[in-house]
């Protein structure tokens, strides 16, 4: 009851302020937009899952990231440059992305331009395959094993920075007409890169390859999620929000 009264009071103040062309305080803008944006997040989440399947983001075929690392290795009778080349591909799990909070950072009263932070998570782990090969050669000694493994990222939380725009209509309704993601920042409790089974001689090179894969993987996933959310939100807009 107290929450309902609070929201209705805010909207009443807002609509009266809008009628008299008074400037809205940042506090009122934050309260109003947090209210209606949080209430349309379920619709956004429906579209996020649909976009992941419709645009073949889950599973996401083909190479996600690739590269190679080199480092000196000891072959027993001599030292050689060891190289590990890898491709990370066939990503699964992006359809489990969901928004669960929104914080309005700032807003302007001229057709309400918004700076917002979404908080999101992935309910499933992200899993991708790793394929490639390793090579170390010194004289007649040559090691050239295949590289296979996987990347598993779990317990993922995402901070999403975005810009939005709300248009106020003469009939005292509002339309959320755009939200554009500027950037995403992923945080995960676990990010495992498993390249086990290769001769331990390659361990120094593998350690470097694992570090490179983790860095590339995070950046690529952030880019993919930015596009996924932008496409999902665009499909859900415009949204009409009546004022009380």
pLDDT at 93 over 60: yes
User: Is the pLDDT higher at 174 or at 58?
Assistant: 58
Position 95 confidence tier, pLDDT thresholds 50, 70, 90: very high
- Position 2 scores a pLDDT of 33
Domain count of the fold of the chain: 1
Query: Is residue 31 situated within a structural domain?
Result: no
Query: Is residue 19 situated within a structural domain?
Result: no
- Position 16 scores a pLDDT of 43
- Position 36 scores a pLDDT of 64
- Position 106 scores a pLDDT of 65
Query: Is residue 154 situated within a structural domain?
Result: yes
Q: How many residues does the chain have?
A: 244
Query: Is residue 49 situated within a structural domain?
Result: yes
DSSP state of 77: S
Question: Which domain range does residue 161 map to?
Answer: 40-242
Residue given tokens 């209606």 in the structure block: 36
Task: Tell me the three state secondary structure of residue 134.
Answer: strand
Query: Is residue 6 situated within a structural domain?
Result: no
Say which CATH number the domain at 222 has.
3.15.10.50
Is 109 exposed, middle or buried, given 0-12, 13-18 or 19+ CB atoms closer than 10 A?
A: middle
- Position 25 scores a pLDDT of 65
Query: Is residue 217 situated within a structural domain?
Result: yes
What contacts 161, CB < 8 A, 6 or more positions away? 115, 116, 117, 181, 182, 183, 184, 185
pLDDT at 107 over 70: no
């Amino acid at each position: 009851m107290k929450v309902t009264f609070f929201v209705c009071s805010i909207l009443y103040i807002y609509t009266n302020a809008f009628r008299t062309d008074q400037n809205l305080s940042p506090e009122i803008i934050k309260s109003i937009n947090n209210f209606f944006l949080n209430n349309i997040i379920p619709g956004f989440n429906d579209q996020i899952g649909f976009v992941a399947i419709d645009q073949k983001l889950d599973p996401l075929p083909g190479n996600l990231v690739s590269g190679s690392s080199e480092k000196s290795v000891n072959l027993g009778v001599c030292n050689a440059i060891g190289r590990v080349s890898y491709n990370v591909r066939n990503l699964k799990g992006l359809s489990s992305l969901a928004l669960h909070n929104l914080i309005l950072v700032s807003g302007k009263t001229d057709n309400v331009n918004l700076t917002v932070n979404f908080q999101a998570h992935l309910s499933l782990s992200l899993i991708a395959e790793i394929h490639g090969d390793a090579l170390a050669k010194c004289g007649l000694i040559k090691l050239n094993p295949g590289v296979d493994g996987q990347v598993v990222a779990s317990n993922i939380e995402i901070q999403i920075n975005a810009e939005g725009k709300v248009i106020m209509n003469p009939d005292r309704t509002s339309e959320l007409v755009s939200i554009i993601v500027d950037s995403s920042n992923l945080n995960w409790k676990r990010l495992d890169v498993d390249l086990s089974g290769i001769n331990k001689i390659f361990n120094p090179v593998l350690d470097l390859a694992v570090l490179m894969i983790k860095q590339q993987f995070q950046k690529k996933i952030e880019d993919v999620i930015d596009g996924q959310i932008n496409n999902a939100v665009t499909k859900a807009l415009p949204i009409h929000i009546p004022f009380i």
